[in-house]
Amino acid sequence: MTLHALIAYLKYTRKAKGRHGTHSPFVYDLVDNVLLDKDPIKKEYFIKCPSLELKYENLLSRIAAYYNYKEIVTLPGTNAIINRPDMLLINSEPNTWLNLPDEYAPLLKNESVIVITGIHKTAAHTGAWKKLAANDKVSMSIDLYGIGLLLFKEEFKEKQHFVLKY
């Protein structure tokens, strides 16, 4: 763990909220039914990402199971996106992140999510994450320390950013 990652983790633990610290029904539901869920994960929803800790692999699998995501695309690793993915898992360097909303938002379904790994690994990762979260196309961002979630739901009327305990 780098010094930046340690400092970012300490800031994260101070800011992170549980379900009662949010004012969003969507986020409350996510915390209640996904983050706090301890039930076994169905085999068809297992997501493998070797660069992630097991707890984050399990979380991605729980998200996929809860929202019934079938089309999951990992970048880099997939040459072309043929279908409209439910989940787009970005496992790359932060210099490639900044165009993600512009490049992929038109391909996503309303319920889709972009998952960014290692958002606090280095200062460059954290800076790129903050720029992504501030992008006009992103309607909600969720910081879970090891990963970040970007949502593009049309029904979210105003941009929201959450830091959640996990």
Query: pLDDT tens-digit profile of 37-92?
Result: 988 888 888 888 888 899 999 999 999 999 999 888 888 765 556 678 899 898 87
**Which position has the token pair 């972009």?**
114
Closest by CA position to 30, among listed 153, 127, 158: 153
The stretch 128-137 carries a mean pLDDT of: 90
Secondary structure (H, E, C), 42-77? CHHHCCCCCCCCHHHHHHHHHHHHHCCCCCEEEECC
Contact 8, 126 (CB under 8 A): yes
95/58 Cα distance (integer angstroms): 27
Predicted TM-score of the model (pTM): 0.89
The stretch 100-123 carries a mean pLDDT of: 87
Give me the chain's average pLDDT, please. Answer: 88
